[in-house]
Structure 1
Amino acid sequence: MTIPTVDVHAHVLLSEVDQLVEGLPGLAAARELDARRNGAEALAVNGGMIRERLPLLTEVVRRLAAMDTEGVDVQLVSPSPSHYHYWADAEVARAMCETANTAVAKHCAHAPARLTGLGLVPLQHPGLAVQMLDHALSEGLAGVEISSHAPGRELSDPAFEPFWELAAETGAILFLHPFGCTLDERLDRWYLSNSVGQPTENAVALSHLIFSGVLDRHPGLKLVAAHGGGYLPTHLGRADHAWRVRPDARGCAHEPSHYLRHLWFDSLVHDPHVLRELVRAAGADRVLLGSDFPFDMGTTDPLAALRAAGLTGPDFHAVRGGNAAALLNLSAKEPR
């Protein structure tokens, strides 16, 4: 049996969602916050970058051609995080998530053997998030993409317990992908909002899930962290020490590093030495190939980035696609 090459971190831009929220009062405030967090220089660069990549983000034929060039057999396609819109009220949030879920399913239906999709849920409305996870699964999607927090709610919030429970029961994939950083204007120059902010948000979100005991209560969760989990997986020694010596840090049953073996991480860390350490810390069976297709903060050659880590043959092929194929229940495909 051959193993497909599977990229679990690839995005789609949904014009249907943009049209639905355009002109709503909350959108202007959200864009103002985004501008403050990123800074004017970053926003100017982002506009051109998105325009240049728009065909790859929207056209299935162009996506498949790029996948062929990269040697990728299967993509797990998630909405651009710009579609989260966690400012929306319940009515708008329901319409937006249903629209996004249906649009992603339609996009992937053009090439079902090569594209598997993820939908969206409104984290700002935990009860509705449960319903929208159900909706995403009913559309044939593998799960949903979530950010690192919602306004006023961390992922450790007890209100999310029914959401975690349903995700664990159904085997839904939860792709943890931050959008924006709460350090705000401190990161508004030199694109620190992304290069520092995203890995910070990953680390904070995963820490809330670990220390609050969410992973103890829902051991069946299939949670994949983008960007290699940010700073967390390779810097857990301090957290383990806090857990051992401080009773106020002991909200989980085991040392924090124990839970790395109960999560999945994509390989997008931009450094072969860090990737090797991620594999060591989490285990080769917990790392999945990721490219952040087609954004500029990703890689256009995820296999080359993986080869640079110098993993053993079995570990290389596990990360290349074996782990994702098992996680997504993919049928065997010819590797490239």
Structure 2
Amino acid sequence: MNTPDPAPVVDFHGHLAVPAADTLCAGTPGLAAETAAELRAHSPASLAVNRAQLRRLAPKLTDPAVRLADLDMMGVDVQVVGPMPMHRYWADADLADRLARTVNEAVAAHCSVAPERLYGLGTIPLQHPDLAVALLDTAVTSYGLYGVSVSTTVDGRELADPAHDPVWRKAEELGAVVFVHPWGCSLGERLATHYLGNTVGQPVETTIALSHLVFTGVLDRFPRLRLVAAHGGGYLPTYIGRSDHAWHRREDARGCAEPPSTYLRRMWFDSLVYTARALRHLVEEVGADRIVLGTDHPFDMGVDDPVARLEAAGLSPADRAAVAGGNALGLLQKGHTR
């Protein structure tokens, strides 16, 4: 009797650089302000390491042949490729439209080299919700992308702001994935030293963004939203008991219909929590059916041995298969025709 082929291993968290989009921003006041904020939020040492890393990783971030070789080395069959999470939410409508189209076309072209292995996510200008709705539709129906990546705030406006409701409604309608990935940290100078802005700040940003989405009832209004959180959802699953306690004890914390922990099983989370113990805890809190593999490829805060780390968690065969690729394929293929 033939042994069935194992399910594909799917990495939900890969990045693509789009130099043409950076060119569109060159010389704009918005980029100057963004750069100034970045200088305040990172130490000179961290900025130097970041710049050297970007130069070193340029081929991995742009060349599909190099990406595919990396995937083979990691034992990954399929990767979800999204743009580096530099969404330029400060851009006016004209520039925002050009940026999103440039990025989405680049993602689609990159993934078209190996469509059986590379699945694309695009970007949308959430600062202009009507435009974002139109561009989300185009990204999915015209470019064949599987959804979009968004940051944790929109130039200071929360993802949970009602202004974004039309975008979530369109994402539900399309069956599009919304991948929440932070870029920077609103705590700024407090975390500038020793790369804390990323190490601590980015999980904090994700925790805050997801908490707003939960506590304000966004997930009650849009229960079919395919929301995937990077970096294991930040610190939210780890300390969800405090959120539940507040919901039960305080009337002002009851903006959602059910205890906050309920909503962990209405989202998906990538597995990028680094240790076997942390992954087992994530499984316990959100369920093995809500976790997808994640590497943060090709950056140094990512991992290049995702399968080994998954094996180390000692999950049951069914749970291991679900996290390795089954959950991701179900999430991507439901409602999407390739």
Classify the TM-score, shorter chain: over 0.9
The answer as to whether partners of 1:14 and 1:103 remain within 8 angstroms in 2 is yes
Match of 2:299 in 1: 295
Mapped pair 1:240 → 2:244: yes
Amino acid in the other structure paired with 1:86:
Y
Q: CA deviation at 1:24?
A: 1.6
Query: Structure 1 residue aligned with 2:200, among 196, 200, 219?
Result: 196
Query: Structure 2 residue aligned with 1:18, among 19, 22, 25?
Result: 22
Q: What SS does the aligned partner of 2:193 have?
A: coil
Aligned 1:1-336 pairs, distance under 5 A: 2-81=6-85, 83-137=86-140, 138-329=142-333
TM-score for the superposition, normalised by structure 1:
0.96
Q: What SS does the aligned partner of 2:269 have?
A: strand
The answer as to whether partners of 2:121 and 2:148 remain within 8 angstroms in 1 is yes
State the alpha-carbon separation in 1 of the partners of residues 36 and 129 from structure 2. 25
The answer as to whether partners of 1:101 and 1:135 remain within 8 angstroms in 2 is no
State the alpha-carbon separation in 1 of the partners of residues 273 and 181 from structure 2. 14
Amino acid in the other structure paired with 2:256:
C
1:5-62 Cα distance to aligned partner (Å, 9 max, x none): 0000000001111111112221111111011112222111001111111111110111
State the alpha-carbon separation in 1 of the partners of residues 231 and 135 from structure 2. 25
State the alpha-carbon separation in 1 of the partners of residues 139 and 149 from structure 2. 10
Q: CA deviation at 1:177?
A: 0.1
Q: CA deviation at 1:213?
A: 0.5
CA RMSD, Structure 1 to Structure 2 (Å): 1.0
State the alpha-carbon separation in 2 of the partners of residues 74 and 300 from structure 1. 14
State the alpha-carbon separation in 2 of the partners of residues 237 and 45 from structure 1. 37
State the alpha-carbon separation in 2 of the partners of residues 9 and 123 from structure 1. 21
1:97-127 Cα distance to aligned partner (Å, 9 max, x none): 0110111000000100000000001122222
Amino acid in the other structure paired with 1:257:
S
After TM superposition, what 4+ stretches of structure 1 lie above 2 angstroms from structure 2? none
RCO comparison, higher one (Cα < 8 Å, 6+):
1
Question: Which stretches in structure 1 are left out of the alignment for 5+ residues?
Answer: 331-336
TM-score for the superposition, normalised by structure 2:
0.96
The answer as to whether partners of 1:291 and 1:299 remain within 8 angstroms in 2 is yes
Q: What SS does the aligned partner of 2:239 have?
A: coil
How many residues are aligned here? Answer: 329
The answer as to whether partners of 1:11 and 1:80 remain within 8 angstroms in 2 is yes
The answer as to whether partners of 2:137 and 2:174 remain within 8 angstroms in 1 is no
State the alpha-carbon separation in 2 of the partners of residues 212 and 218 from structure 1. 12
The answer as to whether partners of 2:13 and 2:80 remain within 8 angstroms in 1 is yes
Question: Which stretches in structure 2 are left out of the alignment for 5+ residues?
Answer: none
Amino acid in the other structure paired with 2:314:
G
Q: What SS does the aligned partner of 1:63 have?
A: helix
State the alpha-carbon separation in 2 of the partners of residues 61 and 151 from structure 1. 35
State the alpha-carbon separation in 2 of the partners of residues 20 and 77 from structure 1. 21
State the alpha-carbon separation in 1 of the partners of residues 149 and 230 from structure 2. 10
